Amino acid sequence: MRGPAVSVVGLGYVGLSTAVCFAHRGLTVYGVEVDPNKLSAISRGEVPFKEEGMDRMLRSVLKAGRLRVSGGYDDAVAKSAITYITVGTPSRPDGSIDLAYVRACAETLGRHLAGKAGYHTVVVKSTAVPGTTEGPVREALERGSGKKVGQGFGLSANPEFLREGSAVKDTFHPDAVVIGSLDGKSRSALLSLYKRFYGRLPPVVLTTPSNAELIKYSVNTFRATQLSFLNTLANLCQSVPGMDVEEVARGFAMIAKPDPRYLKAGIGYGGSCLPKDLRALIAESRRLGVDPQLLESSLRVNEAQPERAIDLAVKATGPLRGRRVAVLGLAFKANTDDIRESSAITLVKKLVAEGADVTAYDPAAMPNSRAVLEGAVRFAKGAKECLKGAEVCILATGWPEFAKLRAADFLAMARPFVVDGRGALDAEKLGRGGVEVLRVGVGKA
Ligand code: NAD
pLDDT per residue over 276-334, tens digit each? 999 999 999 999 999 999 999 999 999 999 999 999 999 999 999 999 999 999 999 99
pLDDT value of position 4: 87
Residue 357 carries which side chain, given as an amino acid letter?
Answer: D
Per residue in 241-275, pLDDT (tens digit) is: 999 999 999 999 999 988 888 889 999 999 999 99
**CA-to-CA distance for 32 and 357, rounded, in angstroms?**
63
Q: Confidence class of residue 400 from pLDDT cuts 50, 70 and 90?
A: very high
- The closest residue, in CA terms, to atom 41 on ligand 1 is 13
- The answer to whether the CB of 104 is under 6 A from ligand 1 is yes
Residue 418 has pLDDT above 70, yes or no: yes
The domain 220-439: what is its CATH number?
3.40.50.720
- The answer to whether the CB of 127 is under 6 A from ligand 1 is yes
Cα separations in angstroms, 46 against 13, 41, 134: 13, 5, 36
Rounded to the nearest angstrom, the distance between the alpha carbon of 11 and the centre of ligand 1 is: 7
Q: 5-9, 372-376, 441-445: which range is least confident on average?
A: 441-445
Q: Confidence class of residue 3 from pLDDT cuts 50, 70 and 90?
A: confident
Q: Which CATH number fits domain 6-207: 2.70.150.10, 3.40.50.510, 3.40.50.720, 2.60.120.380?
A: 3.40.50.720
Residue 231 carries which side chain, given as an amino acid letter?
Answer: N
In the set 105, 237, 273, 386, the catalytic residue is: 273
pTM of the shown model? 0.93
Per residue in 106-161, pLDDT (tens digit) is: 999 999 999 999 999 999 999 999 999 999 999 999 999 999 999 999 999 999 99
**CA-to-CA distance for 66 and 58, rounded, in angstroms?**
10
Is residue 273 annotated as part of the catalytic site, yes or no? yes
If we measure between CA atoms, which residue out of 332, 341, 234, 356 comes closest to residue 288?
234
Q: Confidence class of residue 1 from pLDDT cuts 50, 70 and 90?
A: low
- The answer to whether the CB of 362 is under 6 A from ligand 1 is no
The percent of residues above 90 in pLDDT, for the chain, comes to 96
**CA-to-CA distance for 190 and 184, rounded, in angstroms?**
10
Q: 151 burial class (0-12, 13-18, 19+ CB within 10 angstroms)?
A: exposed
Same fold, 6-207 and 220-439: yes
Mean pLDDT of 353-380: 97
Per residue in 421-439, pLDDT (tens digit) is: 999 999 999 999 999 999 9
Q: Does an H or E element contain 209, and which? A: helix 209-238
CB 212 within 8 A of CB 180: yes
Per residue in 321-366, pLDDT (tens digit) is: 999 999 999 999 999 999 999 999 999 999 999 999 999 999 999 9
Residue 369 has pLDDT above 90, yes or no: yes
- The closest residue, in CA terms, to atom 9 on ligand 1 is 12
Per residue in 86-100, pLDDT (tens digit) is: 999 999 999 999 999
State whether residue 18 is helix, strand or coil. Answer: helix
DSSP state of 136: I
Domain extents in the chain = 6-207, 220-439
Contacts by residues 192-195 (CB-CB < 8 Å, ≥ 24 positions apart):
192/3, 193/3, 193/4, 193/6, 193/82
**CA-to-CA distance for 69 and 85, rounded, in angstroms?**
15
Rounded to the nearest angstrom, the distance between the alpha carbon of 14 and the centre of ligand 1 is: 6
Rounded to the nearest angstrom, the distance between the alpha carbon of 17 and the centre of ligand 1 is: 11
**CA-to-CA distance for 294 and 208, rounded, in angstroms?**
31
Q: Does an H or E element contain 437, and which? A: strand 436-439
Ramachandran angles phi, psi of 404, nearest 5°:
-85, -10
- The average confidence (pLDDT) of the chain is 96
**CA-to-CA distance for 346 and 333, rounded, in angstroms?**
13
Ramachandran angles phi, psi of 199, nearest 5°:
75, -75
- The closest residue, in CA terms, to atom 18 on ligand 1 is 105
- The closest residue, in CA terms, to atom 14 on ligand 1 is 87
pLDDT value of position 328: 98
- The answer to whether the CB of 435 is under 6 A from ligand 1 is no
Instruction: For Cα atoms 238, 282, 329, give the angle at the middle one, nearest 5 degrees.
Output: 140
- The answer to whether the CB of 160 is under 6 A from ligand 1 is yes
Mean pLDDT of 212-237: 96
The percent of residues above 70 in pLDDT, for the chain, comes to 99
pLDDT value of position 62: 98
Question: How large is the C-alpha radius of gyration of the chain?
Answer: 27
Q: Does an H or E element contain 220, and which? A: helix 209-238
State whether residue 139 is helix, strand or coil. Answer: helix
Mean pLDDT of 387-402: 98
- The answer to whether the CB of 88 is under 6 A from ligand 1 is yes
